[in-house]
Amino acid sequence: MNTATLKPYVTRNGLGLAADVEGSGDRGVVMLAHGGGQTRHSWASTAHRLAQRGWKTVSLDLRGHGDSDWDPAGDYHIDRYAEDLIDVAATLPATPALIGASLGGIAGMMAEAVLAPGTFASLTLVDIIPRTDATGVEKIMGFMGAHLEHGFQSLDAAAETIAAYLPHRPKPKDLSGLAKNLRQGIDGRYRWHWDPKFVTGVRRERLPGHAEDLEAKCREIDVPVHLIRGRMSELVSLEGAQAFVTSLRHGSFTDVADAGHMVAGDRNDVFLEAVVEFLEREER
């Protein structure tokens, strides 16, 4: 059974977080945290299929994204995202396994390695490690910031922009999924669902030394960590991924062919297989 409650979770700062909750939880709880510029809907297929297999899934809209509240002070520091995950995890019936893509994965690492070890039963990091390629990050942030002010004249115009940005992925014929990621303003134009201050905040936060500090802290994580990389990733190199996983106490690695940074969207079948195999291995 799927339950879509508008804002079932409240952070320590009083922000309401939207979530989709599904599944019995007989096999435990899986929390899913999307990447920057995405929403809980990016996990729809993954969450549904995990729920069918007996897990309770909690797919969040992170602060400043989707149907969750925007921070009135524009506070989108990674520590706030980590604290939000900690706060949600504390309300769940069992210690959750976290699946975190990009922003969600960094927040998960920060929570488990620095702020509150033991928050999660395991971490699945989707195409993210502490030290990412700066050029790839700027490309993503450039795409996110390009249409913040004026938006798009139509859903089709937005789809054309995405198709140019992700040429390996066919342009969808049905735009209903895309409509969940855009909001139509009173001027009739469509704009992304995220708070514009999120983009400026992320760029301001990327200071030298932060990645190295987090990487060092991750070596002390005492729960299983599974890195799933897209082989066409512009953010995570193969060498960087292998070095990171090797440095972990309990690390494992899956490299997904024909997938870029958004692994679950590019190859959901292979992605789900890797996720389930990891979760089932940790059950034993």
Q: Tens of pLDDT along 132-189?
A: 988 888 888 788 777 878 889 999 998 888 888 878 777 777 887 788 888 888 999 9
CATH of the domain at 48: 3.40.50.1820
* Residues of the chain by 3-state class (helix, strand, coil), percent to 5: 40, 20, 40
pLDDT tens, position by position, 39-93: 999 999 999 999 999 999 999 999 999 999 999 999 999 999 999 999 999 999 9
For the chain, the domain total comes to 1
Q: Are strands 225-230 and 122-126 parallel, antiparallel or unpaired?
A: parallel
Task: State which H helix or E strand residue 101 sits in.
Answer: strand 97-101
190, part of any domain: no
Residue 235: per-residue pLDDT: 93
Between the alpha carbon of residue 252 and those of residues 121, 122, 219, 242, 244, the distances in Å are 15, 11, 13, 9, 10
Rg over CA atoms, the chain? 18
- Entry pTM: 0.91
Rounded Cα distance between 43 and 165, Å, is 21
243, part of any domain: yes
Query: Cα-flanking dihedrals φ and ψ of residue 60, to 5°?
Result: -95, 150
Residue 3: per-residue pLDDT: 54
pLDDT tens, position by position, 85-113: 999 999 999 999 999 999 999 999 999 99
Which tokens go with 89? 């995890």
Residue 1: per-residue pLDDT: 45
Torsion angle of the four alpha carbons 139, 144, 149, 152, in this order, in degrees rounded to the nearest 10: 110
151, part of any domain: no
| Portion of the chain with pLDDT greater than 90, in percent | 70
Q: What is the DSSP string of 4-48?
A: EEEEEEE-TT--EEEEEEES--TT-EEEEE--TT--GGGGHHHHH
155, part of any domain: no
109, part of any domain: yes
148, part of any domain: no
Mean pLDDT of 190-215: 76
Domain span at residue 30?
2-139+200-283
Q: Are strands 56-60 and 29-33 parallel, antiparallel or unpaired?
A: parallel
The identity of residue 120, as a single letter, is F
Distance between start and end Cα atoms, the chain: 26
160, part of any domain: no
159, part of any domain: no
The answer to whether 123 touches 100, Cβ cutoff 8 Å, is yes
Of the candidates 33, 217, 221, the one whose C-alpha atom is nearest the C-alpha of residue 117 is 221
Task: State which H helix or E strand residue 143 sits in.
Answer: helix 134-145
Q: Are strands 225-230 and 251-256 parallel, antiparallel or unpaired?
A: parallel
**pLDDT confidence bin for 222, thresholds 50/70/90:** very high
